[in-house]
């Protein structure tokens, strides 16, 4: 085994050792009753929060929706994982002493398999806690579950949950990448087969890391009518014929009780780069349509939850027929934005 490969193996071991001192994963909950947010950190051997009361506050939220309390004692994995990590580090030392390339490949496979098992266990854990709910909980929403996202952003009632690796998770990824490079250099120029070039290996590693750690889909989140609050006017969203939603490119959803509240929010929050702007089709309560594709009716005879009396239709013919019946005007989404801006100036 070459010196370069030995150095990369040593570097990989150092990244693994660093995991003992930093969190592996970070889950954050944002709710109106906790404006500063609640941060939960999952370590190799413990679960902590921003302060000593964080887990207590998270468990209060869990209690109301019927989830079990989160305590470090609930997870046998926290007692096992430090020994697994220590065993992996000692195994890497053995590979360094042996200096065998096949052992290096086998060790890399073991490390990747260990990471995959850890992620699978974490996914099972969040599903178990979010789906096994107490039917006697103070708040019961039929069909609603409360599993935080495995990776990304998710809205749960009036709570926005984010879940991403912390430093320990990134250190593990770097340890794997260092081992892949060690394998590359250990076989370079010592085989009859042309190995992949280093730039190609780097690109593959970067793409794989990006897909693993940063991919999150911008998808609509269901509105809990009668429970969720509008992110613009803060009123409870109650009419399923008028709800609207903005979803960012990172997957975070902002919910609104009407198209005019969505338009006002878009006008005010210039820094937000939306991936989706959605309004509810009046003829299909609870079903979203892209705001840019909808036709909007403005009529005093068809009042909406807010002051601009805007109603969205997915079908233009239906909108036209309703406009004749209600003596109203038809608008497109850019018109709605201008209308909301003019209305804001008058207030």
CATH of the domain at 30: 1.20.140
Q: 294: domain range? A: 244-346
Q: Which two tokens stand for residue 341?
A: 């801006």
259's enclosing H/E stretch is helix 259-268
Q: How many residues are listed for the chain in this entry?
A: 347
| Count: domains in the chain | 2
Give residue-wise pLDDT tens across range 83-114: 999 999 999 999 998 888 899 999 999 999 99
Q: Name residues whose C-beta falls within 8 Å of residue 274's C-beta, 6 or more positions apart in sequence.
A: 246, 247, 248, 249, 266
Is there a single domain that holds both residue 121 and residue 193? Answer: yes
Q: How far is the C-alpha of 69 from the C-alpha of 295, rounded, in Å?
A: 47
For 166-190, what is each residue's pLDDT tens digit?
A: 999 999 999 999 999 999 888 876 5
Helix (H, G, I), strand (E, B) or coil at 66: coil
Query: pLDDT grade, residue 221 (50/70/90)?
Result: confident
Tokens of 59: 């468990």
Whole-number pLDDT of residue 197: 54
**165 plus 290 within the same structural domain:** no
Has residue 233 been placed in a domain?
no
Considering the domain architecture, whether residues 81 and 173 belong to the same structural domain is answered as yes
Q: Are residues 158 and 277 in the same domain?
A: no
What is the structure's pLDDT at 260? 94
Q: What is the mean pLDDT of residues 124-153?
A: 78
Global pTM reads: 0.57
Residues 62 and 155 both lie in one domain = yes
Question: How many alpha carbons lie under 13 Å from residue 93 in its C-beta half-sphere?
Answer: 9
């Amino acid at each position: 085994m070459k010196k370069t490969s030995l150095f990369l193996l040593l570097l990989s071991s150092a990244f693994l050792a660093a995991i003992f001192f930093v969190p592996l994963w970070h889950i954050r909950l944002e709710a109106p009753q906790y404006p500063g947010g609640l941060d939960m950190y999952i370590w190799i051997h413990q679960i902590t929060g921003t302060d000593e009361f964080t887990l207590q506050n998270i468990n209060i939220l869990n209690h109301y929706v019927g989830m079990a309390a989160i305590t470090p004692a609930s997870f046998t994995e926290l007692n096992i994982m430090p020994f697994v990590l220590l065993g992996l580090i000692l195994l890497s030392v053995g590979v360094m002493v042996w200096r065998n390339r096949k052992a290096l490949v086998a060790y890399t496979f073991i490390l990747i398999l260990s990471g995959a098992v850890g992620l699978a266990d974490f996914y099972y854990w969040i599903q178990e806690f979010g789906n096994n709910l107490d039917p006697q909980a103070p708040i019961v929403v039929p069909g609603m579950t409360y599993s935080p996202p495995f990776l990304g952003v998710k809205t749960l009632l009036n709570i926005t949950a984010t879940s991403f690796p912390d430093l320990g998770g990134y250190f593990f990824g770097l340890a794997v990448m260092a081992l892949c490079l060690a394998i590359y250099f250990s076989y370079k120029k010592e085989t009859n087969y042309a190995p992949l070039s280093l730039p190609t290996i780097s690109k593959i590693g970067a793409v794989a890391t990006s897909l693993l750690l940063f991919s999150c889909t911008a998808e609509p989140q269901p509105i809990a009518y009668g429970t969720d609050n509008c992110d613009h006017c803060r009123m409870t969203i109650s009419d399923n014929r008028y709800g609207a939603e903005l979803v960012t490119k990172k997957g975070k959803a902002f919910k609104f009780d009407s198209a005019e509240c969505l338009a006002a929010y878009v006008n005010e929050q210039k820094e937000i780069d939306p991936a989706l702007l959605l309004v509810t089709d009046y003829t299909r309560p609870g079903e979203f349509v892209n705001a840019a594709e909808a036709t909007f009716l403005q009529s005093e005879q068809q009042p909406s939850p807010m002051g601009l009396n805007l109603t969205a239709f997915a079908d233009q013919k239906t909108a036209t027929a309703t406009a004749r019946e209600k003596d109203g005007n038809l608008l497109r989404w850019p018109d709605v934005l201008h209308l909301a801006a003019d209305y804001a100036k008058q207030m």
